[in-house]
Chain A
Amino acid sequence: MFYVLEYYLINYRRVWRGSVLSSFILPLLTMLGFGVGVGAYVTGGVEGVPYLDWMVPGLIASTALQVAVGESTWPVMGAFSWDRLYFAQAAAPLRITDILDGHLIFVVLRTLLSSAAFLAIAAAFGTLHSWWALLTLPIAALVGLAVATPTFAYSATITVDSYLSILYRFGVIPMSLFSGVFFPVESLPLVFKWVAYAFPLWHAVDLSRAATLGIAPAWSTAGHLLYLALWVAAGWLLALRQFRRRLVL
């Protein structure tokens, strides 16, 4: 498994400069655009804190979602259908779980890197209210894994990449919009509220917000963690099943 991870890290070495740079630039632009721009309109703040401070933890979790899904779509599909890298790995003395887990760990590391960059920018803007804010990183890793595992399963199932846009339209985009990143979930109609609860992102947003603002989360922490862990477990089993189907003919 670690040999597989090492392989992805060697591959990442080629692009890490550009990747790290964009990990910083994206949050920087978001902070300026949303915080300074939109924040100027929301003068009353949200739930008693300035809008920017309220939104930042949501964005950290949402960045984790974007990066984790991005790294689990084309790279996974391509490793089956284009450069067939997984087949090369399957011919070596690796088990299917090594191939899957090695790649997943790499995705989690990428997620952590981007979230850490965002956290650093957020700290520089003085939007963090508590040292608990550091906990946004393990939360980012967890939600990253919670979305990466089912996305791996999906990407391992399709053979045409236009199906990936369906995932974005019906998964990633609605999840990003309705999970309490930009406005409180409580202001949604009941049906959408339950959509937010069902997707993994809101749980990470609520936990992250509690961490950076130094308050208690809306749900119980254990409930959030368990629900995310459930996504990880179910997603992993599905991914393993699809990987088996493709690699063991």
Chain B
Amino acid sequence: MTLIHARGLVKRFEGFTAVDGIDVDVQPGEAFGFLGPNGAGKSSTMRMIGCVSPPTGGELRILGMDPVREGPKIRARLGVCPQLDNLDLELTVRENLTTYARFFGIPRKVARARADELLDFVQLTERADSKVEPLSGGMKRRLTIARALVNEPEIVLLDEPTTGLDPQARHLVWERLFRLKQQGVTLVLTTHYMDEAEQLCDRLVVMDAGKIVAEGSPRALIDRYSTREVVELRFAAESQEPFASKLDGIGERVEVLPDRILLYVEHGDEAVAEVQGRALSPAGVLVRRSSLEDVFLTLTGRTLVD
């Protein structure tokens, strides 16, 4: 069964269209991602899937049900980790889980047992009886994830799960999410970090201005929309623009950014040799593999994180 099914899904607010007719299907056990810059319509889509925001148009079925008429029934089987933590700062870590479990009608005894399991899972057992307020950002986010799992959901929605976390905290969150995925939990996440999408998603859609501009696995998207390698050149000058014309003919495509020039090529080292053969001496040279960032740049002409 398709867990999430959307056809021509639209969300309009006064004066602007946040989601502009998207088609999405999410299968059980998948880790599905919405990748795009801020304002692309990812969070609006997530809220519609989370049954807290009625679609303006199109068709949407979650777990085979209509989110407008059967919101509470669907929400009982979803786990939601919102973009901004909304934990109760005055309750203890454990109480945050047990009180939230009660909203799902879970018996107190079961809630307590499950809270202990989940605290173990997100590695917060030692902080179980401390208040939430003094926890670090990474700990709060892990607690929010634990709270989203308290009803043993069939789908977990994660809106920007690691935005604002330091690299170490991010990796810990990714590792836990990866574990969940291995347990067969369906994950749906939004992100504007390409590395996050590459790490976690089996399949993703790239969104821009409310529309889906590409869809596929991270690997397939890179193969299709980018070259194997990318050469990043930085010239010590006010503007990178004048150097672009001198790079004509090297690689498949040249992309000029404010602070650097990207050369899309099959073999980076060969391209670097050719650049040097033209008597150009960039201040910085970096050869790397193509990423989803490049896919996005190719598709929209803009970078993901400005």
A59–B95 CA distance with the chains assembled, in angstroms: 37
Count of chain A residues with a beta carbon within 8 Å of a chain B beta carbon: 22
Mark the stretch among A21-29, A86-94, A200-208 that contacts chain B.
Answer: A86-94
The majority secondary structure among interface residues of chain A is helix
Q: Is B76 an interface residue (CB 8 A)?
A: yes
> Is the CB–CB distance between A14 and B103 below 8 Å?
no
Q: Is B86 an interface residue (CB 8 A)?
A: yes
List residues of A (1-29) whose CB comes within 8 Å of B's CBs: 3-4, 6-7, 10-11, 14
A94–B13 CA distance with the chains assembled, in angstroms: 24
Known contacts A10-B91, A10-B99, A11-B88: A87-B82 contact under CB 8 Å: yes
User: Which of chain B's residues has its CB closest to A91's CB?
Assistant: B80
A184–B249 CA distance with the chains assembled, in angstroms: 94
> Is the CB–CB distance between A83 and B86 below 8 Å?
yes
A91–B100 CA distance with the chains assembled, in angstroms: 10
User: Which of chain B's residues has its CB closest to A8's CB?
Assistant: B99
User: Which of these, B52, B78, B102, B147, contacts A247 with CB under 8 Å?
Assistant: B52
Chain B: interface residue count, which band?
A: 20 to 34
Q: Is A241 an interface residue (CB 8 A)?
A: no
Per-residue A-contact encoding for B62-98, CB less than 8 Å = 1, 0 else:
0000000001110110101010101111110001000
List residues of A (140-161) whose CB comes within 8 Å of B's CBs: none
Q: Is A85 an interface residue (CB 8 A)?
A: yes
Q: Is B15 an interface residue (CB 8 A)?
A: no
Known contacts A249-B47, A249-B52: A85-B88 contact under CB 8 Å: yes
Residues on the A chain within 8 Å of B13, using CB: 249
> Is the CB–CB distance between B103 and A92 below 8 Å?
yes
Q: Nearest 7 pairs between A and B by C-beta?
A: A84-B86, A92-B103, A93-B76, A93-B72, A91-B80, A88-B86, A93-B75
Binding site for B on A (CB under 8 A): 3-4, 6-7, 10-11, 14, 83-85, 87-95, 247-249
Beyond A85-B86, A87-B86, A93-B72, 15 extra complex contacts between A and B, CB < 8 Å = A11-B99, A14-B90, A14-B91, A83-B87, A83-B88, A84-B84, A87-B52, A88-B82, A91-B52, A91-B80, A92-B75, A92-B100, A248-B52, A248-B54, A249-B52
